[in-house]
Amino acid sequence: MSFVYMKILESRPERYDLGMGLLTLGSLTKIKHEIAEQTHPGDQVLDLGCGTGTLAQMCIERGAHVTGVDANSGMLSVAKRNSPTANYLNISLSNLDEHLADESFDIILSTLAFSELTRAERIYVLKQIKRILKNDGKVLIGDEIIPESFFAKCFYYAFRLPMRLLTWIMTQTTTNAIPSFDDDVREAGMKIVNRKSFMLGMFLLLEIKK
Amino acid sequence: MIGWIKDIYQTLFRFARFPCEPETVAVGNPDKSSPVLVTCNFDYTVRHLKSYLQKMRIDCFLLVVNTQGTNVWCAAAEGVFTTDAVLSHLKVYGVGELINHQQLILPQLSVAGIKRKELKEHGWEGIYGPVYFSDLKEFLNNGLTKNKDMQTLEYGYWERYKMGLSHAVFCTLVCIIPIFIFASDGWVQGIALVWYFAFSMQLIEHFIPFERLLFKGLVLSLPILALVLTSITDPVLKIQASLGIIALGGYIGYDAQGHSHLGQNQKSGAIFAKIFASLALVYGGTLFL
């Protein structure tokens, strides 16, 4: 790999929010605000794939206690600057079983983390979420999906691909739309109780319960 | 897609990532005592490794771990092919249920990322296999022991040629806009220069008596400079062309660190920046002439 390019890659976490904001045309920020509004003072919140910690900080400002999980240590370094009062775990999402107790969180959040996982990993993590979540708790997942309707699908491929390329040039990362998230949730033994679409159905905010 | 077409574009654009689906796959007819091989999910590696295992009739389980499409060595160095990634894979795909032993055969070049001690803490025994998978059959037949050849990394001319090709394509993409901005009349010569530097940095760099690849790139610019200085008559153009050649040689030489494992530990960023700042300053001065 190009050495200069590797140096650019090393600075990726600092540019992550900018790139993702561009990729989602602001939808990600809206999704994060909607998620944060559902947290309350004293809530035990788990942010899976917390990245640069922007959502964690929004929840902390509303009085929640947040634990952020991310496998990328570079991202966590930025998160610790953005949201210094949150707790952090530098582990991959598949290793939650070794670090988090049963029924220990009121709300489990995730934005653009599931689209980085394979289907087997998604189902495994969802099963772990079911174990960690309190019985009356909820899961809020904001992620990219492939739209179902024909026109939305055409728009998706015409618009998203060049945007993804541009974002990749800026941040050397991108998202991979999830083809069938409903099936994954069902297979993990949970149910979707609410859903809201963003950007013509390309992004989805799901509320999931046990 | 036909394998050789994939091979060509995955070699040309090697700097990009080519992921295949992470999986645990049974090759041949493995049973519970069969070896478990671990690799990355760089499509090029996985296709060739599977083909080799089938050809050699090696019955085994192959764990294609998610390294985001990066090859074993780069992924290990980048912190993507790690103990954590392997442990995650073992858990998600229930590998422990497929076998009656705890041995994992790891690529030797994953040593920077996968730690045997950490695997052992989780009940797995990691064994580093040979550098090249073409030695796997002999390694398995020899009771998981390696001879000296199996531990030796070679950087022959074929490998250097492939790396030169990939580096030339990458540098062309990086340099094409500056070339059109600063030397639109000589863009063909500009691109030819990029390819000269990229290939020379791989094929003959070991004959140049400098340790730093940045300096090797600058040395490679000398014959081109001599050619330009004797063939261009306009003094301003002569200076500008010389600056462009030095800049290209310096950049491609410096950048070759990531395209050659011979110079992986070099850090000459400060010198690189000073050289480029000086060149830009002098170039700015020529605009007033």
- The DSSP bridge pattern shows strands A191-198 and B36-39 to be unpaired
**Does a structural domain hold residue A159?**
no
**Does a structural domain hold residue A156?**
no
Region label for A151, one of left (φ > 0), alpha (ψ between -120 and 50) or beta (otherwise): alpha
A11 touches chain B (CB under 8 A): no
Cβ-Cβ pairs closer than 8 A, A with B, add up to 60
Instruction: Tell me which chain A residue has its CA closest to the CA of residue B85.
Output: A92
Q: What is the mean pLDDT of residues B69-82?
A: 86
Paired with A110 in beta bridges are A48, A141
Domain total of chain A:
1
Evaluate whether B58 touches B136 at the Cβ level (below 8 Å).
yes
More confident residue, A14 or B277: B277
More confident residue, A173 or A177: A177
Paired with A89 in beta bridges are A69
CA distance A161 to A176: 11
Write out pLDDT tens, residues A110-127.
Answer: 998 898 888 899 999 999
**Does a structural domain hold residue A164?**
no
CATH number for the domain including A137?
3.40.50.150
DSSP state of A60: H
More confident residue, B76 or B266: B76
| pLDDT above 60: residue B86 | yes
Residue whose entry in the numeric block shows the structure tokens 């059959």: B137
pLDDT of residue B114: 94
pLDDT of residue B70: 86
Q: Would the CB atoms of A2 and B255 count as touching at under 8 Å?
A: yes
| pLDDT above 60: residue B134 | yes
Nearest to B74 by CA among B110, B127, B116, B22: B110
Task: Tell me which residue range forms the domain holding A137.
Answer: 26-147+176-209
Q: Which residues contact A46 (CB under 8 A, 6 or more apart)?
A: A66, A67, A69, A100, A105, A107, A108, A109, A132
pLDDT of residue B263: 52
Q: Would the CB atoms of B88 and A120 count as touching at under 8 Å?
A: no
Q: Model confidence at B50, in pLDDT bands (50, 70, 90)?
A: very high
Paired tokens of A158: 């015409």
Q: How far is B21 from chain A (nearest CA, A)?
A: 8
B269 touches chain A (CB under 8 A): yes
Write out pLDDT tens, residues A13-47.
Answer: 666 676 677 667 778 889 999 999 999 999 999 99
Write out pLDDT tens, residues B89-118.
Answer: 999 999 999 999 999 999 999 999 999 999
Nearest to B32 by CA among B107, B98, B96, B102: B98
pLDDT of residue A181: 85
Q: Would the CB atoms of A3 and B259 count as touching at under 8 Å?
A: yes
Q: Which residues contact A16 (CB under 8 A, 6 or more apart)?
A: A51, A52, A75, A78, A171, A173
| pLDDT above 90: residue B288 | no
Q: Model confidence at A166, in pLDDT bands (50, 70, 90)?
A: low
Q: How far is B193 from chain A (nearest CA, A)?
A: 18
Cα angle A122, A123, A124; round to 5: 90
Q: Would the CB atoms of B91 and A91 count as touching at under 8 Å?
A: no
**Does a structural domain hold residue A155?**
no
CATH 3.40.50.11600 fits B3-151, yes or no: yes
More confident residue, B147 or A21: B147
B257 touches chain A (CB under 8 A): yes
Q: Structural domain boundaries of chain B?
A: 3-151, 157-286
Number of Cβ within 10 Å of residue B115's Cβ equals: 16
pLDDT of residue B87: 93
Q: What is the mean pLDDT of residues A68-84?
A: 89
